[in-house]
């Protein structure tokens, strides 16, 4: 019995050590575009881990609904109505963040991004500018604005929500792909440039996730709209097969000597 008690106590001590290791209590975060999709999930995850989170979106009603829901769950989340494609609104957002989070920001999640799916020759100059501003310029500027607060926190972290489309070629959406490719490069440059300020920079590249951004594809194309998925899976399978072949060649040559 005593043994069982001590192993129970050990298990609970291990659980609380694990909990402490994954806790974000005392940390602050800004998640752009947190009312729907990936940003919404990120806000909930960070808040559930104990962080104080600020988020933003363009639709006041949706933002209010989310904030009420989060308050009901006991999460510490504040929010601003802001169109991130407008420079002055980004500056105003950062002032609100500084005030809501007492001038301390540990985490910046650059999540806002959108897409217009067309063939390259069909894009207008306005669409080019809209996608570049929303996906790339806004994230770049948010990093510049957040830098003093991230640096002051002594332990800063930037995460860009990029896309597989920034790594491999898909059938449409060349402007979106270019913005995500640029985000991937920006991630590497900032990781080097701002490491001295104790700011880590990473990006996450999701494949299709069922959110409002891609619901049109699911609604109108069903699984046919995802034929690119199979192209990527084929690519991954080829890479795996090449790696297996290399390992086998290496092992065969190793076996030859011994
Ligand atoms: N879903 C996917 O399959 C997928 C795959 C790869 C990468 N991603 C990337 O993941 C990120 C999030 O995508 P998602 O699918 O979650 O998108 P989503 O469902 O469309 O949600 C976008 C969120 O951002 C807000 N937002 C959009 N434009 C904004 C602007 N100009 N200013 C302020 N807020 C804005 C939206 O609220 P309002 O509309 O009210 O402003 C909403 O809260 C994007 O960068 C996207 O490129 C998504």
pLDDT of res. 179: 98
Task: Give counts: helices (H), strands (E), the chain.
Answer: 9, 6
In residues, how long is the chain?
258
Q: Within a 13 Å sphere around the CA of 44, how many CA atoms are in the beta-carbon half?
A: 13
Q: Left if phi > 0, otherwise alpha if psi is -120 to 50, otherwise beta: which for 33?
A: left
Which residues lie below 8 Å from residue 154, measured CB to CB, with a gap of 6+?
A: 198
CA of 134 to the centre of ligand 1 (A): 10
Structure confidence by residue, pLDDT tens digits, 207-257:
999 999 988 776 666 545 555 665 666 566 556 555 555 555 545 544 444
pLDDT digits (tens, 9 = 90+) for 103-117: 999 999 999 999 999
Q: Is 37 in the pocket of ligand 1 (CB under 6 A)?
A: yes
User: Measured from the CB, is residue 114 less than 6 Å from ligand 1?
Assistant: yes
52 phi and psi, to 5 degrees? -90, 125
Give pLDDT, residue 7: 65
Candidate of 53, 57, 96 to mutate for ligand 1, largest count of ligand atoms within 8 Å of Cβ: 57
Domain parsing of the chain, residue ranges: 21-209, 214-258
Calculate how far, in angstroms, residue 212's C-alpha sits from the geometric centre of ligand 1.
8
Phi-psi region of 60 (alpha: psi -120 to 50; beta: other; left: phi over 0): alpha
- In this prediction the pTM is 0.85
Rounded to the nearest whole angstrom, what is the distance from the C-alpha of residue 146 to the centroid of ligand 1?
20
- Quick one: which atom of ligand 1 is closest to the CA of 40? 43
Q: Which helix (H) or strand (E) holds 56?
A: strand 52-57
Task: Please name the residue whose Cα sits nearest to atom 34 of ligand 1.
Answer: 57
Which residue's alpha carbon is at the smallest distance from atom 25 of ligand 1? Answer: 33
CA 38–ligand 1 middle distance (angstroms): 7
CATH number, domain 21-209, options 3.40.50.720, 3.40.50.300, 3.30.390.50, 3.40.50.11540: 3.40.50.720
Kindly state if the Cβ of 130 falls inside 6 Å of ligand 1: no
Ligand 1 pocket test: pick from 77, 112, 208 the residue with the most ligand atoms within 8 Å of its Cβ.
Answer: 112
Q: Which of 32, 36, 70, 130 to mutate to test the pocket of ligand 1 (most atoms within 8 A of CB)?
A: 36
- Kindly give the distance from the C-alpha atom of residue 33 to the centroid of ligand 1, in angstroms, as a whole number: 6
User: Cα–Cα distance between 94 and 243 in angstroms, integer?
Assistant: 46
Which residue puts its alpha carbon closest to atom 27 of ligand 1?
Answer: 112
254 tagged catalytic? no
Q: Which of 128, 176, 256, 257 is catalytic?
A: 176
Instruction: Give me the residues of the chain with pLDDT under 70, please.
Output: 1-8, 15, 18, 218-258
| CA distances to 66, 201, 242 from 99, in Å | 20, 24, 53
């Amino acid at each position: 019995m005593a043994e069982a008690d001590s192993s129970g106590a050990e298990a609970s001590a291990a659980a609380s050590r694990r909990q402490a290791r994954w806790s974000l209590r005392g940390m602050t975060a800004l998640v752009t575009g947190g009312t729907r999709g990936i940003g919404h999930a990120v806000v909930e995850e960070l808040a559930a881990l104990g962080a104080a989170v600020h988020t933003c979106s363009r639709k006041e009603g949706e933002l209010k609904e989310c904030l009420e829901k989060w308050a009901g769950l006991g999460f510490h989340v504040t929010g601003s109505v802001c169109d991130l494609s407008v420079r002055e609104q980004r500056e105003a957002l950062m002032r609100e963040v500084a005030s809501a989070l007492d001038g301390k920001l540990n985490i910046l999640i650059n999540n806002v991004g959108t897409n217009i799916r067309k063939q390259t020759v069909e894009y207008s100059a306005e669409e080019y500018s809209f996608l570049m501003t929303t996906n790339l310029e806004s994230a770049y500027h948010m990093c510049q604005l957040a830098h003093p607060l991230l640096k002051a926190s002594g332990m800063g972290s930037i995460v860009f929500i990029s896309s597989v489309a920034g790594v491999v070629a898909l059938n449409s959406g060349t402007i979106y792909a270019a913005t995500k490719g640029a985000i991937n490069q920006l991630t590497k440059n900032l990781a080097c440039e701002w490491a001295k300020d104790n700011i880590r920079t990473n990006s996450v590249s999701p494949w299709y996730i069922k959110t409002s951004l891609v619901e049109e594809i699911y609604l109108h194309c069903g699984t046919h709209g995802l034929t690119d998925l199979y192209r990527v899976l084929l690519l991954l399978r080829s890479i795996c097969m090449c790696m297996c072949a290399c390992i086998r060649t290496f092992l065969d040559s190793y076996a030859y000597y011994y």
